[in-house]
């Protein structure tokens, strides 16, 4: 998994930064502001996006970091099959995801999210 970076004159919105490295249509999303260390002026976010992929809706997780001093934006995009450690997806966005068709790390990630959101798995 790689990451991209780009320079900006006008700081892009978090969702627009994600779109720089992802072309899937976004159905809905939520943004989680991440904690940074004391004295750090950089802003970091995690975007949870329910995205159309073929006949499914899957979760794409994007990490966005702004370096305001150097006017740089860093973007790392992964899908739920990578088993991301971030799980603060909103219930609204999570409920848009379609059932998984095959076994993958996505199932483990979804199980963690279900537990966190107190959602029972559909039978």
State the pTM of this model.
0.90
pLDDT in tens, 56-67: 999 999 999 998
pLDDT in tens, 57-107: 999 999 999 988 899 999 999 999 998 999 999 999 999 999 998 888 999
Distance CA 12, CA 59 (A): 22
C-alpha 62 chain-centroid distance: 4
Distance CA 35, CA 77 (A): 19
Tell me how crowded residue 95 is: count the other CB atoms within 10 A of its CB.
13
């Amino acid at each position: 998994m790689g990451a991209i970076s780009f320079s900006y004159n006008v700081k892009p919105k978090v969702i627009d930064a994600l779109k720089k490295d992802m072309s899937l249509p976004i159905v809905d999303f939520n943004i989680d502001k991440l904690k940074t260390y004391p004295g750090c002026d950089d802003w970091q976010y995690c975007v949870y996006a329910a995205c159309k992929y073929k006949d499914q809706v899957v979760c794409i997780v994007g990490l966005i970091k702004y370096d305001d001093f150097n006017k740089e934006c860093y973007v790392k995009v992964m899908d739920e099959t990578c088993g991301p450690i971030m799980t603060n997806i909103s219930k609204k966005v999570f409920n848009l995801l379609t059932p998984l068709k095959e076994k993958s790390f996505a199932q483990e990630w979804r199980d963690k999210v279900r537990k966190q959101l107190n959602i029972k798995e559909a039978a």
